[in-house]
Amino acid sequence: MKIKSICCIGAGYVGGPTMAVIAKKCPEIKVTVVDINEARIAAWNDKNMDNIPVYEPGLGEVVAEARGRNLFFSTDVDRAIDEADMVFISVNTPTKTYGEGKGQAADLKWIELCARQIARVATTDKIVVEKSTLPVRTASTLKSILDHTGSGVNFQILSNPEFLAEGTAVEDLFAPDRVLIGGGQTEDGKRAIQALVDIYAHWVPKDRILTTNVWSSELSKLTANAFLAQRVSSINALSELCEFTEADINEVSRAIGTDSRIGPKFLKASVGFGGSCFQKDILNLVYISRSYGLNEVADYWEQVIIMNDHQKRRFAKKIIKNLYNTVSGKKITFLGWAFKKDTNDTRESAAIYVADLLLYEQAHISVYDPKVKAEQVYADMDYLNSRSSDENRKYVEIVKDPYEAAKGAHAIALMTEWDEFKTYDWQRIYDNMLKPAHVFDGRNILDKQKLRDIGFQVHAIGSANE
């Protein structure tokens, strides 16, 4: 089965970059990314690559090469589905905020709506690919909806989870550790798997393309994120112990990371993990486990989230405690709002939660982030807390210059590990802050001794307060 046309429903952080790379590597395949959000599609079609809605290093160049040749962005969802041989579903699957499973289960309403739209529009056989992160056995739900349309169209369902790290997504797409494809084990199912294998084989070595049944593929995605988040929470738990024993968490991380059985990745102590996947996928795993009565399994994985939430609260309390147990009326400068460097994604960013806790204590927050826009910061705060939009705008200011953001501040909280923060003129920052001037390094990236020599009081995750 040779694929000539691909449609991807969802022009977000996964769909946009993934389809751009497929279009670049497979110029003979027409790739159309569709979304009902007109502003987002307009941004993808903007001539200025700085305005595309997803910031990823190298993504603009990839889009510029393929867009208009065989890569297209459109709001005409029906037409793209009808023309496609293969339809990727890459829509949001947030944690439910209502009803059964609230706070843990994935909300699949957008997935179901996509399936029903595909079923309504399709007039020829289609391969439907799950790209969104989904609970185990979601494929059976898709299959049930698609197979009962009465249209006589044959659908094959594949699971092709993404394993992208935001900030390195383009690099991850060009040289993935593995591509995982799960599908049915019938002859038709195997042909569908091979069709997707053939697409990735344009640039991915065959030994890095893994094929499984669809259930194993769906569970592997949840498991991978759970294991990575577990490592972060584990090192963060030890960071608190380090602060009381005067051990240094960076030295501990380096020591254990040299063990080949452990390795150094995801052992960086911080204010906590964020992003769209880790928390959502673990909560999903917890919900699935509890639904089968596996309470010990659920409790084990839920502890990863509990530790992460604790780390964010602990960081906020550290700021309050070291500012003489009150931040009321005090200016706290946040350097960074994105959940990690090299992305403009703020979903589940630790900065949002720490800011909310400080605002509860009547602090004033000044935010500088090189890629996150002001409207996104305010949207994050409006979504999270019960304060009015006017209150959030009164107590949270977004500043386009880091030196201006720090002027007159009692403390700086470094919330995102942007490389540029290491290069700042910290003497200039110190001179314009109120004294004593505090730095709370939530990402452990600054030279603590250099800051102390300037005169800062430095408080870093995982080391005794100085």
Q: Which residues are tagged catalytic?
A: 277
Q: What is the CA radius of gyration of the chain?
A: 24
Q: Are 116 and 78 in contact (CB under 8 A)?
A: no
φ/ψ (deg, to 5) at 136: -60, 135
Which residues are within 8 A (CB) of 228 and not within 5 positions of it... i.e. 6 or more apart?
266, 278
Q: Kindly list the strands in the beta sheet with 438-441, ordered across the sheet, starting from the edge strand earlier in the chain.
A: 396-398, 364-368, 331-335, 411-414, 438-441, 457-460
| C-alpha dist (Å) from residue 90 to 15, 120, 133, 203, 320 | 6, 18, 8, 22, 41
Residue pair 339/380 in contact by the 8 Å Cβ criterion: no
Q: What CA–CA distance (Å, rounded) separates 203 from 198?
A: 10
Taking the C-alpha atoms of residue 21 and residue 14, their distance in angstroms, rounded to an integer, is 11
| Range 338-365 burial, b when 16+ CB lie within 10 A, else e | bbbbbbbbbbbbbbbbbbbbbbebebbb
With tokens 């065989």, the residue in question is 70
Pairing of strands 155-159, 179-183: antiparallel
